Structure formats: C-alpha cells, structure tokens
Amino acid sequence: MIVGISGHQRLSNPDDWEWVRQEMKACLASLSQPVVGVTSLAIGADTLFAEIVLALGGALRVVVPFSGYEEKFASDDDRGTYLSLLSQAEKVDVLRRHNTDEESYYAAGKTVVDLSDLIIVCWDGKPAAGLGGTGDIAHYAQSQRKAILHLNPTTHVIARIESDSNETS
C-alpha cells in the first residue's frame, strides 16, 4: 500500500509526539505490507513517519519541494536527519521551484496526496498557518477523494475523514 503523510512540524506539547508515534506505528503495521511511504521529510510528523516506515521494512518515496530544500532546515540535527532519511529513499522526486516557498510546499503536499492511496494527517484540525500547511493538504486530499486517517495530536482522537467533509471515528 502507498501511504502519504502530512503533519505538524512542532506540537504545543512535545510529549504528544509519543502518542503520535504509537498510533502511527500501529496504523502502518496494520496495513498490507510492504508499505511505501510518501513524504517530503519535513521535521516533525514527516520524519517520524519515514523512520517508522523504514523500521517496519517499508520503502520511502521522497517528494522534495525544490532543489536546495535542505538549506531550509534551521538546525544541523534536523538537516542531518533529513539527509540521512533522503539517502535511504528508493525514489526521490525533486519538484521545480515555484514563486514562493509556500507555493512549493503546497505543490509538494499535493504531489504526496496524488501518489498515495491513503493519507495520514497529523493535525490539530485548525486552518493551515500558511499555504501548504496540513489543513490545506487535508482539504486537497478530500477533494481528490483519498482515504484519510486523521491523528489529532492535541485531543488524541483518531478519525477517518470522509470526502464529503464529514468526520467519522
């Protein structure tokens, strides 16, 4: 199964990452194997997802928003994690740069959705802070009638998002 990810880079309560890790791992382990994980390898949910996919014996397909994306990582540790995971990818797609970084991130998120059968969103349910945020990608996935699993790291609720905008758990 081909599974994509979109999610927060930071959480207001860092302890919530452990809940996300456990639920994401349980979800991915329950799918028919091997899983191909599609990600842009942003910090936070994307890198956590990639690590779990690899630990479960799956493969990574990375959608890089633009050439030089690694320079956008603020810390050496985050850049190192990105480069390490990128080197383990079976396939890497580098997209052309758009006018703004946000437009490029949105294009990458849409590509992740387009390549995937199931999208996992690690999302508090709030509107995206900027173009290409998780809220935008969740809405795009709905418009493409993709299966969406919503892991809410704030409320610790797991729900399927239906393409008609109704959520059911």
Please tell me the predicted confidence (pLDDT) of residue 164.
52
Q: Which residues contact 65 (CB under 8 A, 6 or more apart)?
A: 40, 95, 97, 101, 104, 105, 107, 108
Q: What is the pLDDT of residues 52-85, one digit of tens each?
A: 999 999 999 999 999 999 999 999 999 999 999 9
Please tell me the predicted confidence (pLDDT) of residue 161.
84
- C-beta of residue 143 within 8 angstroms of C-beta of residue 161: no
Distance CA 166, CA 35 (A): 27
2-168 topology per CATH: Rossmann fold (3.40.50)
Rg (CA), the chain: 15
Q: Positive or negative CA dihedral for 136, 140, 143, 149? A: negative
Confidence of residue 166 (pLDDT cuts 50, 70, 90): very low
Distance CA 77, CA 58 (A): 24
Q: Does the reported pTM lie above 0.75?
A: yes
In DSSP terms, 152 is beta-bridged to 157
Any idea where the domains of the chain sit in the sequence?
2-168
